[in-house]
Structure 1
Amino acid sequence: MFTDRLELRSWTVPEAAAVVNGVRLADWADDFPAEGDQVIAELLDENPLWLGEYGHRHVVERASGLVVGSIGLFWPPDDGTVEIGYGIVASRRGLGFASEAALALTEFGLTSPDVHTVWANVELSNPASIRVLEKAGFHRMSTDIAEKTALYQRG
């Protein structure tokens, strides 16, 4: 899947193994993988659908060809809803890559007949992530003051 500036390329088993085993690949940005990428790579064995058509993807900066983050839908959907998660490495934050990727993957996810809503939970202390979701067309549905989080949805 391509956007103006990004390629959203599905994770492969060898790439996940490289992340888990601390092996660096030539097409990774210097600060990839981030902590969240490590977590996803470790969970791919337990969640094989995350490697499928609607699953997790590397965010590749087309200009450089480097992997600069990851984004994914936590497949399969539950009652027509699916969660999205994303992360961009520190060296590429503030460039709009997360919003561009979130918009593209959300719109793709909503093409599935099994999905009517894509959602994300975000910490209120993370205004950058809130902006990502808002730019991707998500709307705040609720706020949990005790947990210091907000639920955003699109669909």
Structure 2
Amino acid sequence: MFISELTTERLVLRPWPAEEAAAVVAGERRPHWAADFPADGERVIAGIIAGNPDRPHGHRLIIERETGLTVGGIGMFLPPTDGAVEFGYGIVESRRCRGYVTEAVRALVADTRTLPGVTRVFATVDPANIASVRVLEKAGLRRDGTVDSDEGLLHRYVAG
């Protein structure tokens, strides 16, 4: 499955190359990363990508257009299951509260909905994570039940 680069008003969502993931796993610093990139979530995703470099994945780096700095990650968990694709995201602390994640979610959801065989796009979130709940709501997703996970009960939000 080909994952394209997406451009929004303030961001570029660039497919996450295996060599960048390997740098995160190795603890290396790249000059085009924000000072607080990667955050914990990106380290987890980088480990998955680096551990399976030939396996297709749907993860993208979030790049701030104004500075060219990598400030987070967003991605789909592939392959779809019964036409449904889950996505997740993270942004470094220094770039929070700017609307970047909402902008990225809108672009990712719109793109994901065009993929062959995808009939549903969703995210799960801890209801105590108010900021993430707001991101999903602002991006136009609606709550569609709960999911029991290792982390407790999570709310599921689906794209309309």
| TM-score (normalizing by structure 2) | 0.90
Between the aligned partners of 2:25 and 2:148, the Cα distance in structure 1 is: 35
Counterpart of 2:44, as a letter, is V
Between the aligned partners of 2:99 and 2:86, the Cα distance in structure 1 is: 20
Q: Does 1:36 align with 2:41?
A: yes
1:132-147 alignment runs, 5 A limit = 132-143=135-146, 147=152
Contact 1:71 1:85 in 2 (8 A): yes
1:81-120 alignment runs, 5 A limit = 81-120=84-123
Runs of 4+ that moved beyond 6 A? none
> Aligned pair count?
151
Counterpart of 1:135, as a letter, is K
Tell me the SS of whatever aligns to 1:56: strand
**Deviation of the 1:144 alpha carbon:** 5.5
Render the CA deviation track for 1:110-144: whole Å, top value 9, x for unaligned: 00121111111100110100011111111000136
Between the aligned partners of 1:144 and 1:33, the Cα distance in structure 2 is: 28
Render the CA deviation track for 1:41-80: whole Å, top value 9, x for unaligned: 1011337211xxxx10000000010000000001110111
Render the CA deviation track for 1:67-94: whole Å, top value 9, x for unaligned: 0000000111011100000000000000
Q: Does 1:49 align with 2:91?
A: no
Structure 1 unaligned regions, length at least 5:
none
Between the aligned partners of 1:46 and 1:17, the Cα distance in structure 2 is: 11
- Of 19, 24, 37 in structure 2, the residue corresponding to residue 19 of structure 1 is 24
Choose between structure 1 and 2: higher strand proportion: 2
Between the aligned partners of 2:153 and 2:25, the Cα distance in structure 1 is: 31
Cα distance, 1:23–1:107 mapped onto 2, change above 3 Å = same
Structure 2 unaligned regions, length at least 5:
1-5
Between the aligned partners of 1:145 and 1:56, the Cα distance in structure 2 is: 24
Between the aligned partners of 1:113 and 1:7, the Cα distance in structure 2 is: 23
Match of 2:13 in 1: 8
CA root-mean-square deviation: 1.5
Between the aligned partners of 1:109 and 1:144, the Cα distance in structure 2 is: 22
Counterpart of 2:39, as a letter, is A
- The percentage of aligned residue pairs carrying the same residue is 50
| TM-score (normalizing by structure 1) | 0.93
